[in-house]
Amino acid sequence: MRVMAQMAMVMNLDKCIGCHTCSVTCKQAWTNRSGTEYVWFNNVETRPGLGYPRTYEDQEEWQGGWVRKPNGRIALRSGGRLKKLLTIFSNPKLPSIQDYYEPWTYDYETLLNSPQTDTFPVARPKSLLTGKDMNVEWSANWDDDLGGSQEHAVRDVMLRGIEDKVKMEFEQTFMFYLPRICEHCLNPSCAASCPSGAIYKREEDGIVLVDQDRCRGWRMCVSGCPYKKIYFNHKTGKAEKCTFCYPRIEVGIPTVCAETCVGRLRYIGLVLYDADKVLEAASIEDEHALYDAQRGCFLDPEDPDVRRAAEVAGIPADWIEAARKSPVWALINKFEVALPLHPEYRTMPMVWYIPPLSPVVDVVRDTGEDAEERGNLFAAIDTLRIPVEYLANLFTAGDPEPVTRVLKKLAAMRSYMRDINLGRDPDDSIPASVGMSGETMYEMFRLLAIAKYDERYVIPSAHAEQAHALEELATDCPVSDQGGGQQDLFGEGSGYPTPVAVENFRMLQDRQTSDTLASPGDKASRVNLLNWDGKGAPDGLFPARKDD
Amino acid sequence: MNVFLWVIVPYLCLATFVVGHVWRYRYDKFGWTTRSSQLYEDRLLRLGSPLFHFGMLGVVGGHVIGLLVPRSWTAAIGIDDHLYHYVAVGGGLVAGVAALVGMTILIYRRRTVGPVFSATTVMDKVMYAFLGAAIVLGMWNTIAGSIFSLGGEYNYREGVSVWYRSFLAFQPDAELMADAPIGFQLHALVAFGLFALWPFTRLVHVFSAPIGYLTRPYIVYRSRDSRPGQPGSTPSRRGWDRVG
């Protein structure tokens, strides 16, 4: 047993209202630069729909992820090392910018500089690649809210094999939102595809990152990732990806997407897993067994043997403690309501989803029946094949059984809690019908419905930093590290660097709580260069001139 | 003049080449990339890029054999001049034509595809001029010199190659180059110009050919602590065991 810790996320899709706040705040924080105009580390897709980039789930076409060979070993679907090197001069499976979308801006100058006219002046869209006029034909969420429409949704790869039923029961169309970030897989095929070895998985928390100094722009990772969550920055010529906001995670605050989520549907926590089991689990023949196999890799932090092994493996005690309180662990292995996205890619993804019950509830309510009654919901789950089979294509490699089980748990929770909320006697036969006790069901309800900030995000801060802080107090001599670290002896640069996230956090706090404007007139004020867009010179950037 | 052209200039270029790469690697690892434009355009690249690159690999291999292997060595293993000539000209033509055609496609693409053209830097253009000139002059030497024998017979293995080896051994013999035909002289000068430019262009990606990929494990793990000086991390100190 080789215990490793992984920072993971679970999203409760029933609560997603498709507001795109996560996408926008993520973009503001990470990809608001030239070269990454088309890049969304976090995007929200309407499903059924084409996704971003279009039809990225069609691995026959894009050749992402792993595939099991007849000899029982897994190999990259797009070919092994030698083939990668032979095709390095022209990547055969790279999505073009048209598969994402051509980024654009608007010619706002014409609006500002227009003389008075009878008609309104128009700001025309200009391509950010060529600067020329362009027709906007697609974007990262062009088919937003068009789930089930014949034009876009029928081309959804996940509807293959069940398309006849979709047409037949078109009046029962359904739609839900799927927010996606990098999966920070246990068995990342992007890292395996990188010829330079620039993509690595962090030992401490399993976050998958691209070393920008080692990336040489071969673009194999873009093809290798089946979720198409690695992007090529066309200005710097380097690959970039979701970082799980590691500077924030390291100091114990959640990712930007989770922090700003309006529906509070994201959960972040640690999962302990056995690294020795990962390859074996990823190589299992039956695709339907992959979901259980991946769950089998996770280690129960309540088990004393696991805790001892984790300590031996060098995982700090506060991290083990955090793993015990992890909401992600609870949703995946205790309540068993979270499912992985596309386990059939065999990458062992670590962002899991609670499938939405709302398509089922909507149908029941539209028939005029009681949509909170267990019997009605159970019957609907059993008869409504489309949502269930579609969800199964997304989350369980097409096996409807686990999806049905999860949906029934959610349905049971709905009926059970209605009784409690209305002051009736709770009916313990309801949780029993889905194999849960009343107490566990109530606990699950608490976590899904009313869990507070510190219950949804259980993030132990990076241990190296804590050790460091302790060292600074007791064991470190201020002049002992000259030349070794970043600090200088005197002046502004002295002392240890404050983690970026903490500095921003404090600055934001100052701004929100101070009575004056963000840049008060006193001498100590500084301009936050991180918020400066590079245009013009804000007040305080330079000291005032003498003659002013 | 001979000493200037065939001793001073080549060594200056070589020094720029070596020092430039060291400097670039130390100070601009972030800029060390292929700067691929495949995201913008795929169809022409798919044709031109492998043609050019595999052609260039052949060209480089041919130069290594032609310049670094003395005539006496090939003679010693029983390859006479006639056979050598056939192999060299044949192989050189195939590789050269592939590289030239590939490069033509790539330059056509660069000029006509809007986003690719706007992503082209001045340095790219200068580099293309030198690279193109070197390839064309090299082809000229092969076709005019070795096949049609324009300007008389010239065995570069007795002249240019010997000079090149003497140059690498830091005992340069400028006379050998001074006697070479003008085509070879120009080719060598343009090539040295290209070497001098090399570290400041996207050509640096040649030196990151990912051969290590064949042997490294698929998944790379790295500890956060292995990057000293990063916010939120600290290098492990001598004499202290890392806690946790």
On chain A, the residues whose CB falls within 8 A of the CB of B52 are 89
pLDDT of residue A381: 87
B interface test, pick of A210, A214, A216 with most B CB neighbours within 10 Å:
A216
On whether residue A319 sits in a domain, the answer given is yes
Rounded to an integer, what distance in angstroms lies between the CA atom of residue A414 and that of residue A431? 10
pLDDT tens digits, chain A, 548 residues: what are they? 899 999 999 999 999 999 999 999 999 999 998 899 999 999 999 988 889 999 999 999 999 999 999 999 999 999 999 999 999 999 989 999 999 999 999 999 889 888 988 998 999 999 999 889 999 999 998 888 876 565 666 677 777 777 666 655 555 678 899 999 999 999 999 999 999 999 999 998 999 999 999 999 999 999 999 999 999 999 999 999 999 999 999 889 999 999 999 999 999 999 999 999 999 999 999 999 999 999 999 999 999 999 999 999 989 999 999 999 999 999 999 999 999 999 999 999 999 999 999 888 888 888 888 888 888 889 888 887 778 888 999 999 999 999 999 999 999 999 999 999 999 999 999 999 999 999 999 999 999 999 999 999 999 987 654 444 444 444 445 454 444 444 455 555 555 555 556 666 766 676 666 665 555 455 455 666 766 667 777 777 777 777 75
**Which of A88, A203, A214 is facing B221, going by the closest CB pair?**
A203
On chain A, the residues whose CB falls within 8 A of the CB of B242 are 314, 467
* Closest of A468, A488, A208, A202 to residue B226, by C-alpha: A202
**3-state helix/strand/coil string of B165-231:** HHHHCCCCCHHHHHCCCHHHHHHHHHHHHHHHHHHHCHHHHHHHCCHHHHCCCCCCEECHHHCCCCC
Contact at CB, B222 and A202, closer than 8 angstroms? yes
C-beta atoms surrounding A481 within 10 Å: 15
Contact at CB, B220 and A197, closer than 8 angstroms? yes
In the structure, how many helices (H) and strands (E) does chain B have? 10, 1
pLDDT of residue A541: 74
A interface test, pick of B38, B41, B206, B216 with most A CB neighbours within 10 Å:
B38
A380 in Cβ contact with A392 (< 8 Å): no
How far away is chain A from the Cα of B50, in angstroms, using its nearest Cα?
A: 5
pLDDT of residue A499: 56
Residue A202 contacts B where some CB pair is shorter than 8 Å: yes
On whether residue A23 sits in a domain, the answer given is yes
pLDDT of residue A502: 66
Which residue from A minimizes the CA distance to B231? A499
On chain B, the residues whose CB falls within 8 A of the CB of A212 are 30
On chain B, the residues whose CB falls within 8 A of the CB of A217 are 33-36, 205
Which residue from A minimizes the CA distance to B243? A467
Contact at CB, B219 and A201, closer than 8 angstroms? yes
Q: Which residues of A, range 498-517, sit inside 8 Å of B by Cβ?
A: 498-500
C-beta atoms surrounding B28 within 10 Å: 13
**Which of A82, A89, A199 is facing B53, going by the closest CB pair?**
A89
The H-or-E segment that residue A208 falls in is strand A208-210
| Both structure tokens of B235 | 């290098």
On whether residue A171 sits in a domain, the answer given is yes
Q: Which residues of A, range 294-353, sit inside 8 Å of B by Cβ?
A: 314-317, 319
pLDDT of residue A514: 65
**Which of B45, B114, B231 is facing A247, going by the closest CB pair?**
B231
Average of per-residue pLDDT values in chain B: 86
On whether residue A245 sits in a domain, the answer given is yes
Residue A157 contacts B where some CB pair is shorter than 8 Å: no
How far away is chain B from the Cα of A507, in angstroms, using its nearest Cα?
A: 17
How far away is chain B from the Cα of A344, in angstroms, using its nearest Cα?
A: 19
pTM over 0.80? The answer is yes
Rounded to an integer, what distance in angstroms lies between the CA atom of residue B128 and that of residue B105? 13
| Both structure tokens of A475 | 């064991």
Domains of chain B, each with CATH number or no CATH: 2-215 (1.20.950.20)
On whether residue A89 sits in a domain, the answer given is yes
Range of the domain at A1: 1-99+153-355
How far away is chain A from the Cα of B206, in angstroms, using its nearest Cα?
A: 10
Q: Can the peptide bond before residue A92 be classed as cis, meaning omega within 30 degrees of 0?
A: no
How far away is chain B from the Cα of A4, in angstroms, using its nearest Cα?
A: 11
How far away is chain A from the Cα of B164, in angstroms, using its nearest Cα?
A: 30
Indicate which CATH number applies to the domain containing A52: 3.30.70.20
On chain A, the residues whose CB falls within 8 A of the CB of B243 are 316, 463, 467
Using one digit for the tens of pLDDT, what is the confidence trace for B174-192? Answer: 888 888 888 889 999 999 9
A interface test, pick of B41, B43, B213, B227 with most A CB neighbours within 10 Å:
B213
ipTM of the predicted structure? Answer: 0.85
Find tokens 């906001």 and name the residue: A245
Q: Can the peptide bond before residue A304 be classed as cis, meaning omega within 30 degrees of 0?
A: no
On chain A, the residues whose CB falls within 8 A of the CB of B225 are 464
Mean pLDDT, rounded, for B146-156: 73
The total domain count for chain A is 1
| Both structure tokens of A178 | 């799927």
pLDDT band at B242 (very low <50, low <70, confident <90, very high): very low
Angle value at C-alpha A266, between A366 and A22, nearest 5 degrees: 90
